[in-house]
Amino acid sequence: MVEKLDQIEELKKLDPKDMYSAVYNLPEQIERAAEVAYNAEIKNISDKIDKVLVLGMGGSAIGGDVLQSVLFKEAKFPVFVNRDYDLPNWVDESTLVFAVSYSGHTVETINSAKLSYSRGASVVAVTSGGVLKEFAQENNLTLVEIPSGMAPRAAIGYVTIPSFVILERLGLISSKKKDIEETVAYLRNKREEFKIEVPTEQNVAKKVAKMMFKHIPVIYAVEEKWKVAAYRWKCQINENSKYPAFYHFFPELNHNEIMAWEAIDNVIKPLTLIFLYTSLEGEMKIRVEFMQEKISARGVPVFLWQAEGNNPLTQFFSLTYLGDFATVYLAYLADKDPFSIGYINELKLRIGQALS
């Protein structure tokens, strides 16, 4: 019997807007994002920046989380992410604010961008158009205009890379050109292993999708700085696959969530666990092996995925690219369109917001 995930023509019928290709073409998207950001005209940015704030919601906000994680060991300034209509009180003329809205119509981001500007902050708009683009143009702000027409979550390259490039161009971080090149090369190589033409038996992305099918995935990041990778998996499972999913990170989860795994079988059996890690050494190795041992003994499927790459940017995308493919495949197994976001759009209409 032919595996469902190997029936390519049938799967295409489940994906009329071709989310699969958006995932497959991520390397080219990252290249284009860098090109656009390097060519953007920098306007009205203070030379006294001492903190960075990224504004965004949903798929547009995760670029801020990635910025924060990738610069964990490098930045000499704090990086914060704000998912709200309002702003922290400390935003001032020494704050560099990235207002990121793929559609340009995200109400929360537009509102907080205008507040940032009113407080004298240096605002950079990253968007494909809409109200945010108009706001940037009207106020002579730095605008990184990215291509439109994608689901925001599929535009992770477009909403992530420009912030790194602008910070580099301002002299606030080291050059990221080689890191971007390495990331693109890694993704191009890896997608040949994950692509739909590779049979399930040899395709780890399809195997992970099958492991998650009819289970509730729990994603653990083995380092706190990579909780953004676990969060990306969770959100992709939610939006692409229409599945519930949960995430946490080490070592914090060993002080609370570890006890949840002592629950009765009826609670534990529907779960499946995925560990994301860069390396397992010392105490962290003991923590992970202990949990793997205890949870596997309960009959819960466990999968470990290790980051690759010589820099944090590549490591992030190496942790998440598998999840991007696997969640599209999980949608196919569940007979779901990986592009559609019915409840999100229904809620936006009820609130009176523009659809993405």
Residues annotated as part of the active site = 239, 255, 348
Amino acid at 330: L
- Based on DSSP, count helices (H) and strands (E) in the chain, helices before strands: 14, 9
Q: How far apart are CA 149 and CA 77, in angstroms?
A: 34
Q: How far apart are CA 89 and CA 106, in angstroms?
A: 22
- Closest alpha carbon to 353 in 71, 110, 144: 110
For residues 62 and 101, the answer to whether their CB atoms sit within 8 Å is no
For residues 7 and 174, the answer to whether their CB atoms sit within 8 Å is no
Beta bridge partner(s), residue 98: 54, 124
- Closest alpha carbon to 338 in 203, 199, 196: 196
